[in-house]
Structure formats: structure tokens, C-alpha cells
């Protein structure tokens, strides 16, 4: 996978053991880094930064990590014993995501030959405890992973954390374009944009819908034709109303220009503020989302930003993610489920089959009937994720669900949809989400796990509530009450 993200692998030691031991430690580190980079379970490049043995070396490497925009995280490991007062200044300065792995070069104890030389060289069980103490003492945000470095399970956990770290680093430079304000009177899409920039790094700013409309008018016929060709290649043209499809092409070309010019990775619009645009962007926003740009409807900039972050975390993964909204329930015995959809904007990245372009009335907003992609979502395990503003702080909610194929086709449903059964069951799952204050908008991902999102939340320093197979409502309420004590500062 092509990506600039790099993870710095730093081995801690000291001079007490002599140069021969340090040389052996460095060789082991190089072997490990080579093996990590040859394994698909490790999704981003690991860079060997050698063995550090003095406070000055440690401080220098942490400063360099901070200064390198491509560095998405620091991974430390104590092959031997590295007295941790040497690390205080460096770790205190570090502002990159931080993983401490607790492993050792040899899998087995060499029972027949083990002596004190071996013990001195291979003592990470010992050295990693000294290191863990100082990071605990410094109250560092960190992840600790123990396991044998050649084991798949260990590497997969490292890879999973690396995705969370990439999300965090990406988040800190994310720019979000708002076209129009939030939908009138809606509470859950509101939030503190200064707080969001401080916490997540999201720069959320408004751009005039009139300016967008002018750009739409300036789109050329050849630009429309090229976009139309792209639509015809990717989707099934299931409408005679080509004019409506062409207008979406026009909207998309103009949106693309604004996104590129502004360096945005997410945007919002709202059906209540369309100036003299003829249609709400539907197909246009869907096709843009399919390329990894975050989108939030009705001015929902938090979900737009979250979708962009989760998209970056999913680099190289192919099952997909999308903006989604809980719409309506099936309460039948044994088949209870939630039908998720939106009035237009679901990403084709999660389509089970080739999406169809259709044109239907929107029903609200008083504009022309917009072209949109209609499809059913993929099936299988997935997560729903949202971030809400609790006033002075943010809460992330992650819900494990099973997406399923709807029992029957819905020939009159004019939008894309996904159906899911919430964990631990329909009633408890929905009660839990609503008790947490979970939004109707969220991001559905088939690639990421609850652990990815928990690690991201820990790096960003926010509360994360996970609703899964083990969730019990009484425990959840206690967690939320404890969360208020911990997070309402
Ligand atoms: Mn909505």
C-alpha cells in the first residue's frame, strides 16, 4: 500500500552491558523491522531508529519524531534494561501516538545453555516493566501490546493500533468545509467547533453556498461529459432523466474544485440552504464519498470529519464505510433489525452490487428531483460510530452490529439502504445507544473494529463507550455516570 505514514521503532538500552551486547540488540531490531515490513498485517512502514542509551539520545529522537510530518507514531521496546529516568524529558515532549511493545527476540528459553550473559541480553520482561512504570508515572496516553513478535496475533494488534495512530495524525490536520449551517433546530449535529479543533485538530469553517452556486454555473460541458462517463463506467444508468444526472455531474465538478482548492477532506451541506441550486447534491456527494472524502448531511460536520478520519484509518482496506442514518425498525419475531438509509447520501463503497442511478423527488426542500445511487449495503459484521458534544467535551460511541440482507426487496424505496441487527440484541442495543445520547447520523464501517476506535479515542483524550455482545444496561449506566465524573472537568 502506498502511503507516507511511517512508524519509528526505538529500542531502549544502556551502556552497562558493553558494546557487544548493544550490537546484538541493534541486529535483532533490524531483523524484526525487516520482518514487520514484509508482513501485510503491518499496514504502514516501520522505520528502525536504532538503540538509544542516553537521555540526550532519547530526547533528540523524540524531538525528531515530533518534527517529522510523516511520523505517525513511535513504537518503543526495551530489549534489555533501560533506566527510565533517562526517558522523562523525551517522553514528556513526545506528541505523536505512542505504542509500547513487550516482546523478546527469542521465542523459547534455551534451557540447556541459558546463563547470566543470555539473561542480561534478553531481559525485556524486566526492562519493559521499568519502561511501563515511567509512562504510567508520566500519565502518558499509550497502548501496551504484549506478544511474541513473530506471531500473527501480535502483529495484527500492532497493525490495528497503527491504523488508530494514522487516524489521530490525520485528524490533527483535517479541514472541513461547511456549505450552509446545521439543519434548523436540530440539537445533535450542533457542537463546539473550537473544542473540536483543540481536541481533534479539525478546522471547521463555512463557505458561501452562493459561491458554490457560481462555481456550478461555471462548470463546462466537457467537464460534465467526463463526469458522466465516469458515472456510466461505475454505475448502472437506471433513468431516462439524463438532465438530472448531468446536473449532479455539474455539482460534483464544482464540489471537487472547492475540495481541492481548500485542501478539504470532509464537507457538509444542507437541504435548507441551497441558494439557487436546482438540486441537493445526491449522486455527487455519494460519488465523492466513495473516494474517501468525509460527508455529513444537514450540516453535520462532526460526522463528516469522523468519516474522513475513519476513511484514512482504513487505507488499503476494501470492505468500505459510509455516512448512515438510523431510519426505521423491523420488529418482527426473530428478525428484528434497524433499516439505515438517508434521503440521498450513502457511499457506494458499501454497496453489495453495482449501484443504480435513479431520479426521484426528494419530498422536502422544494428543489428538483435529484439523481442518486440506489443499492443495498453489504452484509457481515460492522461497527457504527458517532461523536457527540456533551458540552465542554466529546463522547465517542461505538456499536457492534451485524449487517444483514433485508428479508424482501423494497421496490419503492428510492434510496440506498443497509439493514443491521444491533448487539447484544435489538432492544438492549437500541436502548444502550439512545441512553448514551447516540446520534441518528453515524459512520458505518465494515473494516474497522471497536478496538480501532477505542485506541483512537484514547490518543485524542476523549470518552469512548462501546456497545457490544457483552453490554448490560445497568453496567452501561454506571460507566456513563463514572464517565461524567472523569470527563466533565
Ligand atoms: Mn440526516
Residue of 331, 445, 456 lying closest to 399 (CA atoms) = 445
Among residues 330, 293, 313, the alpha carbon closest in space to that of 162 is found at 313
CATH class of 6-171: alpha beta
**Each residue's pLDDT tens digit, 292-318:** 999 999 999 999 999 999 999 999 999
Distance in angstroms (rounded) separating the CA atoms of residues 125 and 486? 32
Burial bucket for residue 200 (CB in 10 Å: 0-12, 13-18, 19+): buried
Q: List pLDDT tens digits, range 151-198.
A: 999 999 999 999 999 999 999 999 999 999 999 999 999 999 999 999
- How far away, in angstroms, is 314 Cα from ligand 1 center? 24
Residue 140 has a pLDDT of 96
Ligand 1 centroid from CA 398, angstroms? 19
Q: Tell me the per-residue pLDDT of 431-448, one tens digit each, with 9 for 90 and over.
A: 999 999 999 999 999 999
Q: How far is ligand 1, taken at its centre, from the CA of residue 237, in Å? A: 25
Query: Residue 237 forms beta bridges with which residues?
Result: 357
For residue 298, how far is its CA from the centre of ligand 1 (angstroms)?
Answer: 6
Give the model's pLDDT for residue 143: 98
> Is residue 385 within 8 Å of 445, Cβ to Cβ?
yes
How many angstroms does the Cα of residue 342 sit away from the middle of ligand 1? Answer: 6
Please tell me the distance between residue 438's alpha carbon and the centre of ligand 1 in angstroms.
13
Lowest mean pLDDT among 1-5, 63-67, 130-134, 420-424: 1-5
337, 191 Cβ separation under 8 angstroms: no
Helix (H) or strand (E) holding 435: helix 426-436
Residue 376 DSSP SS3: strand
pLDDT tier at 365 (50, 70, 90 boundaries)?
confident
Task: Give the dihedral sign, CA 190/194/195/197.
Answer: positive
Query: Which residues does residue 330 pair with via DSSP β-bridges, in sequence order?
Result: 337
| C-alpha span between 58 and 66 (Å, rounded) | 13
pLDDT score of 2 more than 80: no
Work out the number of other CB atoms within 10 angstroms of the CB of residue 364. Answer: 10
C-alpha of residue 363 to centroid of ligand 1, in Å? 14
Q: How far is the CA of 271 from the centre of ligand 1 (A)?
A: 10
Mean pLDDT for the stretch of residues 274-290: 96
The string of pLDDT tens digits covering residues 236-269 is 999 999 999 999 999 999 999 999 999 999 999 9
- Looking only at the bridges linking them, the beta strands covering 380-389 and 394-404 are antiparallel
**Domain regions of the chain by residue span:** 6-171, 175-487
Is the pLDDT score of 1 beyond 90?
A: no
| Predicted structure pTM score | 0.97
What is the radius of gyration, based on Cα positions, of the chain? 25
In tens, the pLDDT along 68-122 reads 999 999 999 999 999 999 999 999 999 999 999 999 999 999 999 999 999 989 9
Reply yes or no on whether the pLDDT at 423 is more than 80.
Answer: yes
Calculate mean pLDDT across residues 45-65: 97
Centre of ligand 1 to C-alpha 98, Å, is 36
Q: How far is the CA of 54 from the centre of ligand 1 (A)?
A: 55
Which residues are found with C-beta within 5 Å of the ion, ligand 1?
297-298, 325
What's the 6 CA to ligand 1 centre distance in angstroms?
A: 37
Span from the CA of 466 to the centroid of ligand 1 (angstroms) = 23
Give distance in angstroms: CA of 83 to centre of ligand 1: 54
Ligand 1 centre from 318 Cα, in Å?
25
Which residues 6+ apart lie within 8 Å of 80 measured at CB? Answer: 12, 13, 14, 17, 21, 25, 120, 121, 122, 123, 124, 127
Q: Are 159 and 101 in contact (CB under 8 A)?
A: no
Instruction: Check: CB of residue 300 under 8 Å from CB of residue 202.
Output: no
Amino acid at each position: 500500500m502506498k502511503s507516507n505514514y511511517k512508524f519509528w521503532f526505538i529500542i531502549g538500552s544502556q551502556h552497562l552491558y558493553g558494546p557487544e551486547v548493544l550490537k546484538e540488540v541493534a541486529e535483532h531490531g533490524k531483523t524484526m523491522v525487516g520482518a514487520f515490513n514484509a508482513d501485510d498485517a503491518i499496514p504502514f512502514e516501520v522505520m528502525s531508529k536504532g538503540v538509544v542509551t542516553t537521555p540526550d539520545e532519547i530526547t533528540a529522537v523524540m524531538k525528531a519524531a515530533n518534527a517529522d510530518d510523516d511520523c505517525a507514531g513511535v513504537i518503543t521496546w526495551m530489549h534489555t534494561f533501560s533506566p527510565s529516568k533517562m526517558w522523562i524529558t523525551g517522553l514528556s515532549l513526545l506528541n505523536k501516538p505512542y505504542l509500547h511493545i513487550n516482546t523478546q527476540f527469542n521465542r523459547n528459553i534455551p534451557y540447556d545453555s541459558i546463563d547470566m550473559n543470555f539473561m542480561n541480553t534478553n531481559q525485556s520482561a524486566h526492562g519493559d516493566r521499568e519502561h511501563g512504570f515511567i509512562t504510567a508515572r508520566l500519565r502518558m496516553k499509550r497502548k501496551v501490546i504484549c506478544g511474541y513478535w513473530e506471531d500473527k496475533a501480535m502483529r495484527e494488534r500492532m497493525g490495528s493500533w497503527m491504523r488508530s495512530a494514522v487516524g489521530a495524525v490525520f485528524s490533527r490536520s483535517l479541514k472541513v468545509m461547511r456549505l450552509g449551517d446545521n439543519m434548523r433546530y436540530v440539537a445533535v449535529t450542533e457542537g463546539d467547533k473550537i473544542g473540536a479543533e483543540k481536541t481533534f485538530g479539525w478546522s471547521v469553517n463555512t463557505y458561501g453556498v452562493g459561491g458554490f452556486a457560481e462555481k456550478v454555473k461555471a462548470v463546462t460541458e466537457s467537464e460534465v461529459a467526463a463526469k458522466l462517463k465516469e458515472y456510466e463506467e461505475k454505475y448502472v444508468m437506471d433513468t431516462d432523466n439524463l438532465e438530472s444526472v448531468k446536473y449532479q455531474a455539474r455539482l460534483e465538478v464544482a464540489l471537487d474544485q472547492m475540495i481541492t482548492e481548500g485542501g478539504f477532506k470532509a464537507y457538509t451541506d444542507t437541504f435548507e440552504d441551497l441558494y439557487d441550486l436546482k438540486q441537493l447534491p445526491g449522486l455527487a456527494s455519494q460519488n465523492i464519498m466513495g473516494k474517501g472524502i468525509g460527508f455529513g448531511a444537514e450540516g453535520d460536520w462532526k460526522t463528516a470529519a469522523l468519516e474522513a478520519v475513519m476513511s484514512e484509518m482504513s487505507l488499503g482496506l476494501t470492505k468500505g464505510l459510509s455516512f448512515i442514518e438510523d431510519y426505521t425498525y423491523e420488529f418482527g419475531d426473530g428478525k428484528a433489525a434497524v433499516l439505515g438509509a438517508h434521503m440521498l447520501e450513502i457511499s457506494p463503497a458499501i454497496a453489495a452490487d453495482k449501484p443504480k442511478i435513479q431520479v426521484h423527488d426528494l419530498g422536502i426542500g422544494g428543489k428538483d428531483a435529484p439523481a442518486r445511487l440506489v443499492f443495498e449495503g453489504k452484509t457481515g459484521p460492522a461497527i457504527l460510530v458517532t461523536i457527540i458534544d456533551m458540552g465542554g467535551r466529546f463522547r465517542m460511541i461505538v456499536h457492534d452490529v451485524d449487517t444483514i440482507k433485508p428479508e424482501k426487496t423494497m421496490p419503492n424505496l428510492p434510496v440506498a439502504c443497509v439493514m443491521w441487527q444491533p448487539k447484544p440484541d435489538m432492544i438492549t442495543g437500541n436502548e444502550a445507544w439512545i441512553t448514551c445520547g447516540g446520534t441518528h447520523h453515524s459512520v458505518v464501517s465494515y473494516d474497522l473494529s471497536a478496538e480501532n476506535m477505542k485506541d483512537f479515542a484514547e490518543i485524542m483524550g476523549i470518552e469512548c463507550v462501546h456497545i457490544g455482545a457483552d453490554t448490560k444496561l445497568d453496567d452501561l449506566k454506571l460507566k456513563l455516570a463514572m464517565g461524567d465524573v472523569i470527563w466533565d472537568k
